[in-house]
């Protein structure tokens, strides 16, 4: 991947200073993150990664639990995936003031276009993910979602100047193979073969759409927003959440699903409180994931954020076996191992590039 090793969130002009540390050169961090001390930057990296892993795991498990409670509305499941955005509002008022020079804000029309496009794409992805969670065991669903990394590598190549290497190519092939194994392995049970195939297909399309949203988000940071403050991260989550939630509510009422919500509420197997708390914590889980994901895109890159999400692939199947008694048969274990191997290939490429960048930096700054 050479000097274009990571997708740059801050596009350097000729007058911009060169990377001042191996860390900055290796991860391609924006100018604002270079102002952080070394330990602060690493702390934020691990903190945002934890938010992604925790939010993703909780969101997937609770999303499946909604169906187990008797929930049937795909639009409600879609809505709740983005309904936690109001919790962002207090953070906008509590955020620390930036000491950096102000960056001219894009026009309202440009920002509105970005938020509307990303919000509508997110709604479509969440709806397809809702179908996947309904038709597939959580463990299978999670393993198929690992293909996000492969899709993100492709979109990053075209939209964010990400270059391919043999190890990244291997990771794409391995993750695709893992998904293909699950695609031809019907688990039967209470889900018909047709619905299982539909669940596989829609989850794959949603994974591709989600990866497209990540790359477009980074492209928006690069070409339009060009800001150096965490405020843009919060605003991105808030306004895309507003658009996604409103469009989901339109689908909920237009499709007639709203008529069955009261029946779901009063007929919940675990009681009304469990039903409400499941929806509430699902929304919070996905909000936590969104904060970590968008912040990590800002701090590092969209591809790196997706790598962290892929790292959580083994977590959901394990918890699904514990809480939902999903079966972990031989094919699923093989698919899991192949997915992990694909992830290792990608991480090893980052290790090689990091070592190369450090060696170059030592030569330039002995």
Its pTM stands at: 0.77
pLDDT at 102: 58
Instruction: Calculate the average pLDDT of the chain.
Output: 79
Taking only the tens place, the pLDDT of each residue in 301-332 is 777 787 787 777 667 777 777 787 777 778 77
pLDDT at 73: 92
Judged against a pLDDT cut of 60, whether residue 274 lies above it is answered with yes
CA-wise closest residue to 178 among 337, 349, 347: 337
Average pLDDT of span 82-93: 89
CA distance linking residue 24 with residue 20, whole number of Å:
7
Confidence at 15, pLDDT banded by 50, 70, 90? very low
Taking only the tens place, the pLDDT of each residue in 198-207 is 999 999 999 9
pLDDT at 35: 60
pLDDT at 36: 65
Average pLDDT of span 152-170: 81
Confidence at 366, pLDDT banded by 50, 70, 90? low
Taking only the tens place, the pLDDT of each residue in 344-364 is 887 787 678 767 777 777 777
CA-wise closest residue to 170 among 345, 356, 326, 32: 345
Average pLDDT of span 239-247: 96
Ranges 34-38, 139-143, 181-185: which has the least confidence: 34-38
Confidence at 3, pLDDT banded by 50, 70, 90? very low
Residue 253's Cα: distance from chain center in Å?
27
Judged against a pLDDT cut of 90, whether residue 40 lies above it is answered with no
Judged against a pLDDT cut of 70, whether residue 1 lies above it is answered with no
Judged against a pLDDT cut of 50, whether residue 264 lies above it is answered with yes
Judged against a pLDDT cut of 70, whether residue 97 lies above it is answered with no
Confidence at 103, pLDDT banded by 50, 70, 90? low
- Alpha helices by DSSP H, listed for the chain, are 22-27, 31-34, 38-68, 74-80, 88-94, 108-135, 138-145, 148-159, 166-183, 193-220, 231-254, 261-266, 272-299, 302-311, 315-324, 330-364
Judged against a pLDDT cut of 70, whether residue 25 lies above it is answered with no
Task: For residue 202, give both structure tokens.
Answer: 């829609």
Task: For residue 311, give both structure tokens.
Answer: 């790292």
CA distance linking residue 354 with residue 348, whole number of Å:
10
Return the SS3 of 360.
helix
pLDDT at 80: 95
CA distance linking residue 314 with residue 341, whole number of Å:
12
CA distance linking residue 48 with residue 301, whole number of Å:
12
Judged against a pLDDT cut of 70, whether residue 56 lies above it is answered with yes
């Amino acid at each position: 991947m050479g000097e274009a090793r990571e997708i740059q969130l801050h596009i350097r002009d000729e007058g911009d200073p060169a990377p001042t540390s191996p860390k900055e050169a290796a991860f391609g961090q924006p100018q604002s993150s270079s102002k952080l001390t070394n330990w602060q930057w690493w702390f934020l990296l691990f903190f945002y990664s934890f938010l992604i892993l925790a939010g993703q795991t909780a969101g997937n498990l609770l999303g499946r639990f909604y169906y187990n409670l008797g929930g049937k509305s795909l639009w409600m499941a879609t809505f709740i995936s983005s309904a936690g955005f109001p919790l962002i509002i207090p953070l906008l008022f509590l955020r620390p003031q930036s000491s950096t020079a102000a960056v001219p804000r894009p026009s309202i029309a440009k920002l509105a276009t970005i938020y509307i496009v990303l919000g509508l794409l997110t709604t479509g992805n969440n709806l397809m993910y809702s179908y996947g969670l309904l038709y597939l065991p959580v463990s299978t669903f999670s393993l198929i979602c690992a293909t996000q990394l492969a899709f993100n590598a492709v979109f990053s190549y075209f939209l964010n100047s990400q270059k391919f290497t043999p190890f990244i190519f291997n990771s794409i092939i391995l993750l695709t193979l893992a998904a293909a194994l699950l695609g031809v392995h019907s688990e039967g049970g209470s889900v018909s073969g047709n619905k299982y195939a539909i669940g596989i297909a829609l989850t794959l399309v949603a994974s591709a759409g989600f990866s497209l949203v990540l790359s477009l988000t980074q492209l928006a940071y690069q070409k339009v927003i060009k800001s150096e403050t965490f405020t843009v991260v919060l605003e991105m989550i808030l306004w895309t959440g507003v658009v996604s939630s409103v469009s989901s509510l339109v689908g909920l009422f237009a499709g007639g699903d709203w008529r069955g919500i009261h029946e779901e509420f009063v007929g919940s197997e675990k009681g009304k409180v469990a039903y409400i708390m499941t929806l509430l914590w699902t929304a919070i889980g996905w909000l936590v994931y969104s904060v970590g994901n968008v912040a990590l895109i800002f701090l590092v890159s969209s591809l790196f954020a997706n790598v962290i999400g892929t790292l959580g692939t083994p977590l959901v199947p394990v918890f699904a076996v514990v809480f939902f008694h999903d079966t972990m048969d031989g094919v699923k274990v093989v698919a899991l191992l192949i997915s992990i191997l694909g992830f290792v290939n990608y991480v090893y490429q980052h290790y090689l590039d990091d070592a190369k960048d450090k060696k170059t930096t030592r030569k330039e700054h002995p």
